[in-house]
Amino acid sequence: MMNVKDKIVLITGATSGIGKVAAIELAKMGAHVVIHGRDERKARIVRDEIVSICGHENIEILIGDVSSMQDVKTMAKEFLSRFDRLDILINNAGGVMDAKRQLTVDGLERTFAVNVASLFLLTALLFDALTKSSEARIINVSSMAHKFARPDWSDFQLERKYSSNLAYGNAKLYVICVTEELDRRMKEKRVHHVSVNALHPGVVATNFAKESKGSMMNLFFKILRPFLITPEKGARTTVYLASSEEVKGISGKYFAKCRPASIKRTFISEENSLKLWQKLEQLTGKDML
C-alpha cells in the first residue's frame, strides 16, 4: 500500500454508498479526507461517523449539487480556499437520473451533467492543485454499463432520442473517453506526476437509480438488490487505485476488481474523445490542458 497518511483526498458523492466506504477506508489509513455531498446536515452526520471510526479529526465536508455547474465552481473555490494542493481526486458522484429527459439549471441533460460535465469541470478547476502534489491520482468512477452505450457524437445530450438507460450507458462511456483524453494530454505536456484512471465498481446495492423512478433501471435494482454486492466490496477498486503502490505511474486505464479490465471500444476513438472534450470545454466554459 502507498502511504496515504496526511494525503489530501476529495471524494464526490461521499455521504453514502461506495463513496462513503472509500472515505472511511482512506481515513482509517490516515488520509485527510474531504467528503462531498448535497445535504449539509447529512454530510455533517457522516463526517462525525467517519471521525468516530478513524480516530482523527481530519475529515471535512464540501457541499454542492453537481448537477449545477455554478455549484461545482463554488465547490472548487471553497476547496482551494482551504488547501494549496490536492493529492487524490475521486470523481465518484453519479448515477441514473430521470425516466423522462430533464434539464438542469444550466440547460444540460441531467444524466450528462451529473456524470460527465461536473466531473470534467471539477477536475479542470482543481487540476493546478493536483499538479502541486508530488504524486497525484485522479480516479473516475465509470461502469460496465459503458458496454451498452450507443452514443450519437452529434447529440451528446440525447435531444433526439432519450432513455434513462441509454443516457447512463453513454455517460459512463464518456467518463472513459475523458479519462483517456486527459491521459493523452498530460503525456503530451509531460505531466508525469499526475495519473488518471477509470473503474467499474461492480453492481452495488446502494441508493443507485433511486432518482430514476419509473425506469427499467430503477425496477432492475429493486428486484435484484438482495443479490448485489455490498458497498464495501464495491469500494475496493476505488480504494485500491487511491492507495496501492502497484498502480503508481499507471495512467489512462480502466479497472475492475482491482485489475485492468477490457473496454468495449466500438464507439471509443481519439477522434470521438476529442469531440467530447471540446464539447465539454464549450459547455462548461473551462479549458483543461
Catalytic residues: 168
Question: Hey, what amino acid is at 228?
Answer: L
- Single out the residue of 89, 88, 131, 130 nearest to residue 2, CA to CA: 88
Angle between helices 118-131 and 164-188 (to 10 degrees): 20
3-state DSSP assignment of residue 246: helix
Check: CB of residue 70 under 8 Å from CB of residue 45: no
Within its chain, how far is the Cα of 202 from the centroid? 14
The C-alpha cell that represents 38 in the structure block: 448535497
Name the DSSP letter for residue 260: E
Check: CB of residue 200 under 8 Å from CB of residue 142: yes
Check: CB of residue 19 under 8 Å from CB of residue 92: yes
- Our CA angle for 254, 2, 26, nearest 5°, is 80
Within its chain, how far is the Cα of 40 from the centroid? 20
